[in-house]
Amino acid sequence: MTIPIKICGLSTPEAVDRAADLKADMAGFIFFPKSPRHVTVDDARQLAERARARELKTVAVTVDMDDAGLDEIVEQMKPDWLQLHGTETPERLSVLKVRYGLPVMKALAVRDAGDLDRAAVYNGIADRMLFDAKPPKGSDLPGGNGVSFDWQLLAGRDLSSLDGAASYMLSGGLTTDNVGEALRISGAPGVDVSSGVESAPGVKDLAMMGAFVQAVSNAPK
Ligand SMILES: O=C(O)c1ccccc1NCC(=O)[C@H](O)[C@H](O)COP(=O)(O)O
């Protein structure tokens, strides 16, 4: 079984090409001005075009964005997926799925088992969940903080009610050094990485990207 990998926060053609060379499944582009990974719509349009040419799926990552902002992103970038990384409700997801006809990945911030229980409200609505760590106190970013949550929370948990073959992705503080252990403990069907493949905030490191993908493929199935 191959584990789907999303590499998030890409902002250069080199990083997009590297993700495609490595046969990552998804490339995430961040629309959040406070993030060191923020891209403009025009940047995203060009980067997504490049990804599409290599059959790399693109994900527009937004946070409680209004319709006007989303309209522009969808029209220009033509993403394959929307990732909603804010406080979007199941009702909001339903509206956006009809409006854009795109699959939606809902990020949920996890610290304890109760947080994971909240995923149930998105059953049958989100096409995929992304379980990420809660941001540390004082962080301006809802994601991309390089912190993990307790992977044991996912161990043995029945998430079969979530739809799709890869019903969720594990995220938050994953690195080459810990992703094998994270997969072993959680049994996650997919992984997402951002700061764990960066040499500085927002700067993707091509060698680290390669090492991460290798570590995932080396992980015991
Ligand atoms: O990465 C960001 O800067 C970011 C900003 C605002 C919303 C979401 C953001 N990232 C979303 C992701 O999917 C990240 O890959 C995920 O949070 C994991 O990040 P990391 O812990 O750095 O691997």
Closest-CA residue, ligand 1 atom 1, reads 144
Ligand 1: nearest atom to the Cα of 107: 13
Specify the pairing of strand 104-110 against strand 191-193.
unpaired
Q: What is the ipTM of this complex?
A: 0.98
5-218 sits in which CATH class?
Answer: alpha beta
- Please give all residues whose beta carbon lies within 6 A of any atom in ligand 1, as ranges: 8-9, 28, 30, 32, 35, 37, 61, 63, 85, 132, 141-146, 171-174, 192-196
Question: At 26, which helix (H) or strand (E)?
Answer: strand 26-30
**Residue (of 10, 48, 3, 58) closest to 209 by Cα position:** 10
The structure tokens listed for 24 are 């990552």
Within 34-173, strands assigned E span 57-62, 81-84, 104-110, 128-133, 168-170
The alpha carbon of 100 is separated from its chain's Cα centroid by a whole number of angstroms, namely 19
Q: Which of 10, 61, 65, 205 to mutate to test the pocket of ligand 1 (most atoms within 8 A of CB)?
A: 61
Can you spell out the DSSP letters for 27-49? EEEE--TTSTTB--HHHHHHHHH
User: Can you give the pLDDT of all 221 residues of the chain as single tens digits?
Assistant: 689 999 999 999 999 999 999 999 999 999 999 999 999 999 999 999 999 999 999 999 999 999 999 999 999 999 999 999 999 999 999 999 999 999 999 999 999 999 998 998 998 899 999 999 999 999 999 999 999 999 999 997 766 655 554 589 999 999 999 999 999 999 999 999 999 999 999 999 999 999 999 999 999 87
Ligand 1: nearest atom to the Cα of 9: 1
Can you spell out the DSSP letters for 67-87? HHHHHHHHHHH--SEEEE-SS
